[in-house]
Structure 1
């Protein structure tokens, strides 16, 4: 069997997470690592074994890769993704797709024109907690009517770059992007949205968001995300309310649900499971390689990535202009 030949561009922490997972997949060969800081590339290449190293994307291309993992900072995704797709290579890009509409459209056009497969890294979809919620909804055991999402990011101090929009693209493009992505993943297409936001502790950008979403399915959901409230457990939570049923997550550690009125509460605890597995990284990498090997659909392909990019821009627009946005109409206009 010919192995998928993967190169990694950007040798930080998240690159090491993916490298460990891919290194255990016998369908994959990790052939190269490139990072503008050569020592970082060397460190990760040593971790994965016999990978070659470089400092540029072009050097990575010359290593005879067929697939590139883009794991550079948020605001630096567009150029390497477009370049790799232009070479006909498969691309797995860590979130976000882009940090503005123009960048997202460039990637979309490149992906549609490329023979390569594009996938956006949204691991929280496949976290054990959210996998359980998705399963309950898909089997009909839980029929959502409304939901509350919350993430108190804690602070913008550690690491310091999380307070720098020139690196993150804005607060919502960091961890909160996962909760925003889960909205449509769990409940389907968004009809309308409204966001109120302010700068509580940051001089650079909004850092406190309260959002309201309606869905074409009839579900109504709220999402609250802040950067100033500390790390009190559970700082990440999803609560879903159905017909005489509830389900709630506690970070990536536990999910509790009751599906009827008899007060029986089912609880699943994932505390003992390694982070990369319970956090969804293992499953998303496996699904991506499955798509490459079998010719199937990638887990978060170009259409999902583009819709998320549109949604993030619309939330910021609502916050800046203090208005409700007809998101369904916005999507139709963008497609047309």
Structure 2
């Protein structure tokens, strides 16, 4: 089978993570890197070997790529994704899909009309810690009655653009999107949601969130996220409570779980695993290339991405309007 010819649009840090993984996949040929900052494109092209260098998306099109990785800033995803899909190209887009409901719908419509495959990059699903949670739930060893998730970013100072919603789309789109995605990945469709939020330090956006979710499965979960509370370990955590059972993650480093009344606690430690593997980046890329080469379902297809995008917009709406949202009804009306 012919190799998948990949171009990368946006040559920042996350592009280099994906490029390193793809460069070691024998099914892939990295053809071109484009970035409006020439030095960034050159640096990444040199990192991966023989790739050409460009400054705009059209440079990738001229190199006859069949797949484009969109790794530009959050608020700049919609136009290049739609442009690629309209040309019938496959797209791997880093999170978020968009930073509003309208942008997400534009991408969804383009993806459904395209012969290309769309995938949203949500690596945390495939992190070793969360993959273990998923395995315990799917096997029936851990029935998730309730859960609490939390993420405290620490600050919105470094890099400075993380405090600019014109670049991020808002704090939830930049950081907490991974925990919001995990809610549906682990517990199934959201039924209702309510969010209380405040601007504790930031003058331009909500930066403290407390959320309550119910799920069609019956699970109830809370999620708390702060943009400025410090980096105390673990700043990222999932705790799940079942019948005489608990499971707790500590960032991407380890998971502890007990599945019986005797409280025999098992620990799996992943601190020695390379970041791209334990963080799920290697697996999401492998699954995406599988989808292109074998016709498998992409890891996060356009319908899942659209549901996540709608959920994020609904959380912000709940915070602004101080009301509960029937998300089951909203999802059916919007996505079907």
TM class, shorter-chain normalised? over 0.9
Matches within 5 A, 1:113-128: 113-128=113-128
Matches within 5 A, 1:295-314: 295-314=295-314
Q: Establish whether residue 171 from structure 1 lines up as the match of residue 171 from structure 2.
A: yes
1:110 shift after superposition: 0.3
- Runs of 4 or more, structure 1, over 6 Å off, are none
Runs of 5+ in structure 2 lacking a partner?
A: none
Per-residue CA deviation, residues 249-274 of structure 1 (Å, 9 max, x unaligned), is: 00000000000011100000000111
Q: Where does residue 136 of structure 2 map in the other structure? A: 136
Query: Following the alignment from structure 1 to structure 2, what is the Cα–Cα distance between the partners of residues 76 and 97?
Result: 10
SS at structure 2 position matched to 1:174: helix
Q: Where does residue 33 of structure 1 map in the other structure? A: 33
Matches within 5 A, 1:221-232: 221-232=221-232
Matches within 5 A, 1:206-225: 206-225=206-225
Query: Following the alignment from structure 1 to structure 2, what is the Cα–Cα distance between the partners of residues 335 and 290?
Result: 26
Per-residue CA deviation, residues 54-88 of structure 1 (Å, 9 max, x unaligned), is: 00100111111000000000000000000000110
Per-residue CA deviation, residues 296-333 of structure 1 (Å, 9 max, x unaligned), is: 10000000000000000000000000000000011111
CA RMSD, Structure 1 to Structure 2 (Å): 0.6
Q: Where does residue 145 of structure 1 map in the other structure? A: 145
Query: Following the alignment from structure 2 to structure 1, what is the Cα–Cα distance between the partners of residues 250 and 269?
Result: 9
8 Å contact 2:257–2:265 — kept in the other structure?
yes
Length-normalised TM-score, structure 1? 0.99
Query: Following the alignment from structure 1 to structure 2, what is the Cα–Cα distance between the partners of residues 334 and 305?
Result: 13
Query: Following the alignment from structure 2 to structure 1, what is the Cα–Cα distance between the partners of residues 175 and 242?
Result: 26
SS at structure 1 position matched to 2:145: strand
Q: Where does residue 15 of structure 1 map in the other structure? A: 15
Per-residue CA deviation, residues 26-47 of structure 1 (Å, 9 max, x unaligned), is: 0000000000011111110000
Number of aligned residue pairs: 336
SS at structure 2 position matched to 1:92: strand
Q: Where does residue 271 of structure 2 map in the other structure? A: 271
1:291 shift after superposition: 0.4
